[in-house]
Chains A and B, each alone.
Chain A
Amino acid sequence: MSQIVLDKLRERFGTAILETHTNYGDDTAVVDRGVWKAVATFLREDPALDFDMPVDLCGVDYPNRMPRMEVVLHLYSVSKGQRVRIKTRVGDDDMDGAELDSLVGVWPGLNWLEREVFDMSGVRFRGHPDLRRILMYPEFEGHPLQRTYPAQKTQPLVEYRTEDEAGVPLNKLEPFGADEGMPFGRKGLPRDGTSPAVPGRRRSLTEDN
């Protein structure tokens, strides 16, 4: 049963279907980016397939591959109870040519998902009605889920306070010792907090009971 979808795709698109595999009932087809929209339209409109629900769309970066960015589309057919995963690969080392046809005309629900893939992975969708960032802010530069984005790089919108202005260390502190915090009203602590002994050292349950 589960091979039917892949068989139909191979029959219809021939060599434009680059790879297929099936694991535990999960069908996956890697297609040429040139037939991306044709494959989608076929899956949507063929009455025997009827994939009417776009479940997810995401980008996966494989920086050592060429093309490096894989775009993954998960589909579900409500009427047939069938799932399929379609992948395609775009973009060279500098993400040049990372363009795909937008599928918003096929499934309107992909509108925000394509914006997310654009925002996170930098894939541009031709014909998208409103292709702009959806999670990050407009001032953000780069695409954070590309492996070439530095893991520690942040782009704050407001300038951070300096330590001089704050009057306290702003970097993350070492773990606090037993003598820090709670300078008031604790058992065994003087109220002025001058000699903070270990506050009311807990008795062990098994020793002195």
Chain B
Amino acid sequence: MGDVNRSLVLEGSEQGYATTRLDALLGWARKYSLFSYPFITACCGMEFMALTSPRFDVSRFGAEVPRFSPRQSDLLWVVGTVSQRQGPVLKRIYEQMMAPKWVFAFGTCAASGGFYDNYTTVPGIDKIIPVDVYIPGCPPRPEAVLDGLMLLQDKIQRNERRPSVVKPRFDPAESVHDMVRLRRSAADPRALLPAMREHTKRNVGGSAS
């Protein structure tokens, strides 16, 4: 036990305690124990399932526990299109959650209504409830959602409530252009595979922190 205690003590404070600010401690505790309420209405739900499956494994971020009562959850995932008819339901669910609470707008439809610019769809859930992180994409890739989750954790730690948006780390069109140029430059496409893998690793997989 002595060794365990020693490892928790900050260097230079051998009295056996460490100091921090209360809000920083609370933020640190909150950001790693997010209880999720999935409000899933449409096709983005598939991507939510991918996110929670072992390949992308959202539980690495302490946000894997879904609660199917809004009273027990503090992170509302609005995943998919919200119709006008669902508006009151969404608002009521949000109001039932206990503070502090955070909201994800998962996918373009939840964020802005997407291409459903018509009589039946809410043009973005921020018309009804506050949103902390917008995750655009139709649907967003799980990596984008994990980016959003890290963004939210950062915001929780800093007690920052201004809404923010997940954006790609590089321009996908530019990358496709690169790929096409590379493909056309080679006689045998198989010879390009190592270079393409390296390209993907560098631009997509390699930068997760």
- A residues contacting B by CB (< 8 A) are 135-137, 144, 149, 151-158, 160-161, 166, 168, 170, 172, 176, 180-187, 199-200, 202-206, 209
B3, chain A: closest CB distance, angstroms: 31
Chain B residues with CB under 8 A of A152: 117
Is B199 within 8 A of A161, CB to CB?
A: no
For the complex, is B21 an interface residue (Cβ under 8 Å from A)? Answer: no
The answer on a CB contact under 8 Å between B195 and A166 is no
A181's closest neighbor in chain B, by CB?
B167
The number of residue pairs between A and B whose CB atoms lie closer than 8 Å in the complex comes to 97
| Distance between Cα atoms of A57 and B84 in the complex (Å) | 25
A180-B165 contact, Cβ under 8 Å, with A149-B119, A205-B182: yes
CB <8 Å contact, A187 and B207: yes
Residues of the A chain whose Cβ atoms lie less than 8 Å from the Cβ of B36: none
Known contacts being A161-B128, A202-B170, is A153 close to B164, with CB within 8 Å?
Answer: no
Assuming the A-B contacts A144-B119, A180-B165, A180-B167, are A206 and B182 also in contact, with contact meaning beta carbons closer than 8 angstroms in the complex?
A: yes
- How many chain B residues have a CB neighbour from A under 8 Å? 44
Chain B window 126-163, contacts with chain A (Cβ cutoff 8 Å), 1 for yes, 0 for no: 11111000000000000000010011001000000011
Contact B167 A158 (CB under 8 A): no
Q: Is the CB of B181 within 8 A of A158?
A: no
Q: Does B53 sit within 8 A of A, measured CB to CB? A: no
Contact partners of B107 in chain A: CB under 8 A: none
Distance between B128 CB and nearest chain A CB, rounded to angstroms: 6
Which residues of chain A are within 8 angstroms of B185 by Cβ–Cβ distance?
Answer: 206
Query: Cβ of B69 < 8 Å from any Cβ of A?
Result: no
Of B151, B162, B179, the residue contacting A168 (CB under 8 A) is: B162
**Are A182 and B166 neighbours in the complex by a CB distance under 8 Å?**
yes
A184 and B169 in contact, given A154-B84, A168-B162, A170-B124 (Cβ under 8 angstroms) = no
